[in-house]
Structure formats: C-alpha cells, structure tokens
Amino acid sequence: MMIAFIMTFLGLAVIGKALYIMTAKKQYWTEVADRLKRDSVSVKPNRGNILSCDGQLMATSIPEYKIFMDFQASAFDDDSLWLDKLDSVCEGLNKIFPQRTAEEFKQLLEEGRHKKNRNGSVGARHWAIWPRRINYNTYMEVRQLPFLNMPKYKSGFHEEEFNSRNRPFGSLAQRTIGGLYGAKDSAYFGLELSYDSILRGTPGITGRRKVLNKYMNIPVTMPIDGCDIVTTIDVNMQDLAERALTDELKLVNGEMGVAILMEVETGDIKAIVNLMRNSEGEYIEGVNSAISYRCEPGSVFKVASFLVALDDEVIPNDTSFIIHTGSGVMDMHGRPMKDHNWRRGGYGDINVARALEVSSNIGVSYVIDKFYGSNPTRYVEGLYRVGIHEDLKLPLVGYHPPYIRMPDTKTQDRSKYWSKTTLPWMSIGYETQIAPINTVSFYNAIANNGKMMQPRFVKQVLKNGEVIKEFEPRVLKRQIASPKAIKTMQTILEHVVSQGLGKKAGSKLFKVAGKTGTAQVADQHGSYHSGITRYWLSFAGFFPADDPLYSCIVCIKKTGLPASGGGMSGVVFHHIAEGVMARKLNLSIDDAHDEQSVVIPDVKIGNSQEANQVLYQLGIDKRTTNGTKYQQDITPDVTGMGARDAVYQLERRGLKVKVHGRGKVKRQSYPAGKQISKGSECILTLE
C-alpha cells in the first residue's frame, strides 16, 4: 500500500513539473532553444574532370560564389560601425562592380538593412549584394573591403559556393563534352550527362550546431569527389577539323556542317565537329548533328549497295559487269533516273567500278533493281548484314539509329509503303534515314578489313590519377562482308579519289580512299518542292588507303547551287587528312637548324622525365633543367608554365589544383614561396 502511494505521488510530481515548465518557464526554455540549434547540411563533392586522350583538361570545375549580407548579425546591434564604414564599402563595391554606382549600392544595402520580416524583426538575413555569381578572385576582393573583412558571424557577410564548369578550350567539341545547368549544377547533354554518375561524386553531410550565436561544423560523412574520365578526343585534331570545316562553311555559305574523325583499329573518335549558323551569321557548336541528324545520305550510300551485291556475288568481284547507262537518263518503273551529267550525254557503257568512280545513279540503281527487284527483302537484309543499319548503342543522349525499312506493300502509312520505285531510289541513298556517325562507322569497317568497331568516346575512368576502369575497344561485327568483297571495295574507293569525282579529297603525299555524296534534302517543312533546294553534301573515306589509320566523314548542308560533295566536303576532308598525317612525319632536326638560334633550349621546372625525353629526341646531351630548385614544402612559382607542368609541380607537393582558362599560367592563388599546407587548394589562371 505504501509503495503504491509513493509511486502515485512521484507520478503526480512529474506531471506537475512538466506543467510548470510548459507554462511558467515556457519563455525561458524557448530562448534556450533559440540559442541551441542543430542541422545537417549537405556538402557537395568536387565534380570530376573531363580529359582529352593525352590528358589535357577539356572540362573542369572551379568555385564560383554568390555574396549576401545578414543584417541581423551582431555588428548591427549598434549601427554606428556600419554607418561609419558604409560609404567605404559602397565605393569599394563600385570599383569591383563598375556596372553599378556607389550610390546605387548604398540604396540597395540600406534597403536590406531596413527590410521588415514576417516575424516582426528588422533586417534581411540573406540579402544579395550582387545578383550574379563571381569567381574566387573577385570574391576575395569583396572579402577584403572594410567591415566585410570581419568574421562572418559578426559582419553578416556570407557566401554560397557553387561548382562552375569551365572548358579551357572554349567551344572545342562543346556538344560532345557537354554542359551543366548553371543554377542547378546538373548535367544536361553530352558526356557530362552520359557519365554524370561517375563525374558527380557522392555528397557528404556536416552537422551544424549553433550555440550562443556561434556555429560549429561537425563532419558526419565526408564527400567523395567525382572521378575523372579520359576521352578519345585529340585536342589538336579537333581544332584542325573545326577550323577546316568553319572555313569551308563560310566560303560556301553553308547552314550546317559535321565532321567526324575515327581511328580505324580502335573506333576511337579523335575529333567530332557540329557547327550550325546562328542568327548573327556565326558558326557555333549547336546540336550534336553528327549523332542525331538522320537524313537521306545520298551517294555515299551507293558503296553499301554495291558491297551487298559483291558479297552476294550477283556481280563479279573483278567488277567487269558492264552497265548500259545510255545518254544519262533511264526509265525506272515510270520515273526517270538521271545521272548528274545527263545534259552532256551521260556515261554510255561503264563497268561496276567506274559506276562508283563517277557516282552514276543509273549504274547503281540498274544493278540493284536487276538482281534484287524480284526479292527486295534480300537486298535490305544485305544492308543489315554489312552494318550500315547497325545500332551503334552510343553512350551519348540524342543518338538516333538508322532507319532502313523492310519491303511492305500492305501498310496504310505512305512513308512506309514499298513501291516498285523504292528499291532503285533506295540503292542510291534516298528513302533511308542515316546519321553521319553510322556512315563513318560503315566506312571504317571497310578500312578495317571488314571488322566494324563501336565508336568509342571514353577510354578510361581515373581516381586520383589511378585508372580504376578501362573501356576497351568493342567489336560490333567481326566481318561485315567477305574478305574478297572488302578488298574489291577498298580498291574501288581508292580509284574514286585517284580517277573519279573525289580527286579534291586526295593528297600528293599519301593515298586516299572514299566516296562523294550529293543529295537533295527536304526543307524545314518536310517538302522537296517549296522552290528552295537544299543539299546534303558528303565525303566519307579513309587514309592512307594502303594502310588505313583514320576514317573520316564531312557533311555540309547548304541551300542552292553550286553544290558538290567532292568539291566542298571533299576539300575539308583533304585539309583534315593532310593536317593529321603531317603530325606523323618524322623529319630530322638538322632540316630545321638555324645557326643563329640557341642550340640548347631553356627548360622550366616541370616534369623533368618528359623534358629529358624531349631533349634526348632532339639529340641534346643536356640532362638537367634550368631554373630554381624549390624545397618540397615551399610553393614554387609556376607562372609562365603550361597547365600540365604547373599542375605537376603543385600536386607533387600536396596541393589540390584547379585550372581556369587556357594558355600559360598568368596567376596562382597560392603564392610562390609560401609554406605549403597539405590538401590546400591552388587555382591557376591561364591566359
């Protein structure tokens, strides 16, 4: 009985104490709660870099900031200090941001200081000083202004940090490299999007505790930075292809242009250019048309048609089969098929090889209609077999596989209906939809003796400089046609350049093989009869023809005549091929010797192993590099160096390096001669 009485008494005492705290002491404990807050904050990881095939930065992250004021910070308990420094602050902001006057800054800041909040308090807690993001150097300039240079919890000056994506090479391969939404730091196209899960990393969590108006950050889980990816793109080849295509587009007043350079053996994409003319008449990287723009390819498709016929052995591999093209016009099931020179009398009797050399529409369509007219399904199955219809399964968002339809005479859809004229017109590159990436992959397979490779854009994933994943070259088809048919086609394509319409794509220094293409394409309304004729001009091929290293396709879209695949796209192909092969020439240093020049070059501090290798190749016995030797724990002066050597020197001493710009190092945020704190960050500005 006594125990029950005691327990009842204790229970009533607990309830009474709780009621006392909830009523009489409510205000006291509310104030205590306001002084003690806990919160979990997500910590963003550093996004991984995108590198070229030789390790040059093509996309990297640099910090950017938005700056704010908290007008309820402790310094505003007494406004005298703020009012004393206000003019100095506004004059300093005006020098940093001259777009706004000192008086305008003063009005803006005073508006934030006197703003009334919903809870009755006065003074904005998160008032923007400048509406846009600023870089690190600008942020540090603002941070050093009077009043703002006090601790943030006293002055109220604070910032939000963002990872801004920077491309040191500007718009080079922009549509393929990809981009991020600035406000959300999220990828939306290109390799940035396709490999976002690898590049993004894993956010961490920091516990924030506020005690008596002071915050303490307690790490809960550390962020895991994203990995780097190494692409197959060669910066020099990319720049070469872009300049060659831009020059030709300007010359012919083209609307759009595409160029793809592919390594024969591996399928590596060494360069991919997507140019379109904007409203100001400038050529920019717009849509990734190389993988997404499906259209009727024109005469470059004739190679696939004849390869099917050669593989099926319906025509002899010695290409002696004679075609009677007549005067350049032939009736094909009620429609006239014309050669480009029909007004000049046509080609008369020609063999199969010559039909491709001069790109005879009649020659190709007659052969395909003669041997496959009674069984067009066999022809289309042959196209599927030789790989022109292959789904390349590219990692890039926006890729559209080819559309080559099977014969169907029962469909109600006119675009899919198979008529008697479908086969001859399909054989010369009409009534199909193929993107340039598929065409160059097909030609690459011919150059590769029949082995079709998947186009490769990324070859490695790196973490802290170590390879953690390899993307090996992938074979899509072991043999697209018989070795005999492939060899015959290789010979024909070489003759197209040496003896046919593709002469402008050739070179005096090495052999080139390829095929021209000129096709009329529909306008923006899907019509061919609007009175405005648009052309899709192509040249696809490979070089050197006797030992192929690279395949390439160049496409130009333009309005009106003149329009020539060989004379326009072929010229761009020529410049790309010669530029690429010039890099492989091994010339003696004696041929370029200048007696007035310094024989032994000065070598800055950098990767001494690579520098010595260069000196060795130049025949110079000197093995030591010039310049000051720095202690391991002292920051070296890397101004004037290239990005690679500068990053090497700083990272080997324990600094984390971020690069902004292109060219030589102009500024370094971690001063030279300063004692190094391991894990600190140094931002290099290149110009």
DSSP annotation string for 540-589:
EEEESTTS--EEEEEEEEEESS---IIIIIHHHHHHHHHHHHHTT----G
* Of 549 and 319, the one with more pLDDT: 549
At residue 635, the pLDDT reads 83
Beta carbons of 529 and 520 less than 8 angstroms apart: no
Taking only the tens place, the pLDDT of each residue in 343-401 is 899 999 999 999 999 999 999 999 999 999 999 999 999 999 999 999 999 989 889 99
At residue 655, the pLDDT reads 81
Mean pLDDT, residues 453-482 taken together: 95
Cα separation, 656 vs 25, in Å, equals 52
Cα separation, 334 vs 154, in Å, equals 88
Beta bridge partners of 219: 206
For residue 531 the two structure tokens come to 């009175």
Among 26-40, 43-57, 201-215, 504-518, the minimum mean pLDDT is found in 26-40
In the predicted structure, residue 251 carries a pLDDT above the cut 90: yes
The overall average pLDDT reported for the chain is 86
Mean pLDDT, residues 118-136 taken together: 88
Among 117-126, 387-396, 477-486, 496-505, the minimum mean pLDDT is found in 117-126
In the predicted structure, residue 683 carries a pLDDT above the cut 50: yes
At residue 619, the pLDDT reads 63
* Of 672 and 482, the one with more pLDDT: 482
At residue 369, the pLDDT reads 95
Mean pLDDT, residues 550-555 taken together: 98
At residue 605, the pLDDT reads 53
| % pLDDT > 70, the chain | 86
Beta carbons of 248 and 572 less than 8 angstroms apart: yes
Cα separation, 112 vs 127, in Å, equals 6
At residue 215, the pLDDT reads 60
448-474: b or e for each residue (b if 16 or more CB lie within 10 Å)?
bebbbbbbbbbbbbbeeeeeeeebeee
Mean pLDDT, residues 529-546 taken together: 87
pLDDT bracket for residue 628 (50, 70, 90): very low
Cα angle value 135/107/68 (rounded, 5°)? 35
Cα separation, 81 vs 612, in Å, equals 60
Instruction: For 443, list phi and psi in degrees, rounded to 5.
Output: -65, -35
At residue 526, the pLDDT reads 47
- For 135, the 3-state DSSP assignment is strand
In the predicted structure, residue 573 carries a pLDDT above the cut 60: yes
Mean pLDDT, residues 111-121 taken together: 87
Among 175-179, 240-244, 310-314, 586-590, the minimum mean pLDDT is found in 586-590
At residue 588, the pLDDT reads 45
Taking only the tens place, the pLDDT of each residue in 273-306 is 999 999 899 999 988 999 999 999 999 999 999 9
- Give whole-number Cα distances, 339 to 323, 329, 331, 364, 377, in Å: 13, 7, 12, 10, 26
Beta bridge partners of 257: 275, 556
At residue 627, the pLDDT reads 42
Type of residue at 203: P
In the predicted structure, residue 474 carries a pLDDT above the cut 90: yes
Beta carbons of 622 and 600 less than 8 angstroms apart: yes
Beta carbons of 319 and 303 less than 8 angstroms apart: no
Taking only the tens place, the pLDDT of each residue in 631-644 is 567 888 888 887 77
In the predicted structure, residue 259 carries a pLDDT above the cut 70: yes
In the predicted structure, residue 221 carries a pLDDT above the cut 50: yes
- For residue 12, the Cα-to-chain-centroid distance in whole angstroms is 72
Cα separation, 90 vs 104, in Å, equals 8
Q: Ranked by mean pLDDT, which of 215-219, 310-314, 588-592, 611-615 comes out on top? A: 310-314
Residue 210 CB coordination number (10 Å) = 15
Mean pLDDT, residues 517-529 taken together: 66
In the predicted structure, residue 136 carries a pLDDT above the cut 80: yes
At residue 629, the pLDDT reads 45
pLDDT bracket for residue 205 (50, 70, 90): confident
In the predicted structure, residue 241 carries a pLDDT above the cut 50: yes
In the predicted structure, residue 622 carries a pLDDT above the cut 80: no
3-state SS of the chain: helix, strand, coil percent to 5?
35, 25, 40
Taking only the tens place, the pLDDT of each residue in 42-78 is 777 888 999 999 999 999 888 889 999 999 888 888 8
Q: Ranked by mean pLDDT, which of 131-135, 205-209, 408-412 comes out on top? A: 131-135
Q: Which residue has the tokens 């009534």?
A: 431
At residue 617, the pLDDT reads 64
At residue 556, the pLDDT reads 97
Taking only the tens place, the pLDDT of each residue in 85-104 is 899 999 999 999 999 999 99
- For 160, the 3-state DSSP assignment is strand
In the predicted structure, residue 223 carries a pLDDT above the cut 60: yes
Among 17-21, 364-368, 466-470, 557-561, the minimum mean pLDDT is found in 17-21
- The answer to whether the peptide bond before residue 223 is cis (omega within 30 degrees of 0) is no
For residue 607 the two structure tokens come to 């990767």
* Of 215 and 642, the one with more pLDDT: 642
| % pLDDT > 90, the chain | 54
Cα separation, 51 vs 678, in Å, equals 25
Beta carbons of 665 and 645 less than 8 angstroms apart: no
Crossing angle of helices 376-385 and 302-312, rounded to 10°: 100
pLDDT bracket for residue 184 (50, 70, 90): low
* Of 424 and 205, the one with more pLDDT: 424
In the predicted structure, residue 327 carries a pLDDT above the cut 50: yes
Burial class (CB in 10 A: 0-12, 13-18, 19+), 88: middle
Burial class (CB in 10 A: 0-12, 13-18, 19+), 10: exposed
For residue 668 the two structure tokens come to 């370094």
Cα separation, 39 vs 160, in Å, equals 17
Beta bridge partners of 68: 128, 158
In the predicted structure, residue 229 carries a pLDDT above the cut 90: yes
Residue 572 CB coordination number (10 Å) = 28
In the predicted structure, residue 333 carries a pLDDT above the cut 80: yes
Mean pLDDT, residues 495-512 taken together: 95
At residue 212, the pLDDT reads 53
Instruction: For 64, list phi and psi in degrees, rounded to 5.
Output: -130, 155
Pairing type for strands 513-521 and 283-285 reads unpaired
Cα angle value 647/652/653 (rounded, 5°)? 105
At residue 656, the pLDDT reads 81
* Of 129 and 136, the one with more pLDDT: 129
